[in-house]
Amino acid sequence: MNDGIAVYDAVTGRLRVNGLHPFIGAFFDEFTGKTSGLPLEVFAMAEVLLESNLHEAGLKQEQIDAMMASRDQLLRYVAQESGRRTALTVANALRNARNDEDRLEIEVVEAFRSLGFDATRVGGKGKPDGVANAHLSAGPDGKPRRYATTLEAKSKKKDGAKLKTKTFGVSAIARQRDDYQCEHAIVVAPAFDHTAGKESALSQEINSDRNQTAAGGKPRTITAIHVDDLARLVQLRPVKRLGLAKLRELFQACSLPENCKAWIDKIEKERVVQPPYAQIIKAIHQQQQEYGLAAVDYGALRVALGKDTPPYKIATNDELMELCKAMAAMASYEITATDRTVELNQSPENVISAIESATKAHLGENI
């Protein structure tokens, strides 16, 4: 999942294409279409040849690695931002897809992209509908914090119909999770064959999986969540400033739909101190104007905000990145935030206005 688009094995002479790369997943139909002018194999080979040419040009390995990593990040961003929608739009599309099998699979992946994950649609017999990676930096103790979850969408054509435990397939979900080397698995459906507070077959099987994996020294989880609750979470994410580390609590603490609902209810009730959006947006604009930048590095923006009047101090670049991505989720095309940089695509006044409108639409709050 975290590899580039392609790797060439010089020993066997084989070109391996990373089918789980978000760029491949997002444009798979265009790559494989009979009338496509850019076949997948040619594009993948171009990536390999680019790296080879950089070696021939005499660049140092660290320079090549940095350049290829930057290019890969750009391709991932293009995939995730193609046809970009606000969090509110994604949430509504998810709700509207509850009775459409294909559409729900697509919207669940889109929902996790909106939540900040590097999410890719997979699909196929014996495979999950998608995989979502949380790219987090190491913690203060140096231990890795990144994690991944498989995604499974289970629609029902008839409103009110419940997903049977047999159709849920706990063992199959666990196998897919383990095959794709994920720590978590989540299953999204309009309703489950489970009554809150009851020891149903579904709760027994999910808890058994948790207990067995924990006993084996590699704790893994399966979470069942209602479509409506996932949609609420998508809608809440930007205004409640939920980062990927915080979202992991949902997987770790919640197994059943009622657990998820209670967790999201708590998030919804929490009062979050709103950051000075206007100050941040004006600081981005000033950096872009002063240095002629198309995009502003988070480190530079963090320094600028710390020297502003009044100063706005942010502990880490990751925290500032999450904040800028939250603004992008609310303001859509007005602001663009990647893992490394942020840029305004409109005047500061228009961006601030878009965020104000989105905040009111999400929760009826003002910034």
Class of domain 277-363: mainly alpha
N-term to C-term CA, the chain:
37
Distance CA 93, CA 289 (A): 37
151-198 pLDDT, tens per residue? 999 998 787 788 999 999 999 999 999 999 999 999 999 999 888 877
277-363 has the same fold as 87-269:
no
Q: What is the DSSP letter of 332?
A: G
Categorise residue 126: left if φ over 0, alpha if ψ from -120 to 50, beta otherwise: left
AA letter at 309: T
CATH of domain 87-269: 3.40.91.30
For the question of whether the overall pTM of this predicted structure is more than 0.75, the answer is: no
32-83 pLDDT, tens per residue? 554 454 577 788 888 888 988 998 999 999 999 888 888 888 887 766 555 5
Distance CA 150, CA 186 (A): 6
Domain ranges of the chain: 6-81, 87-269, 277-363
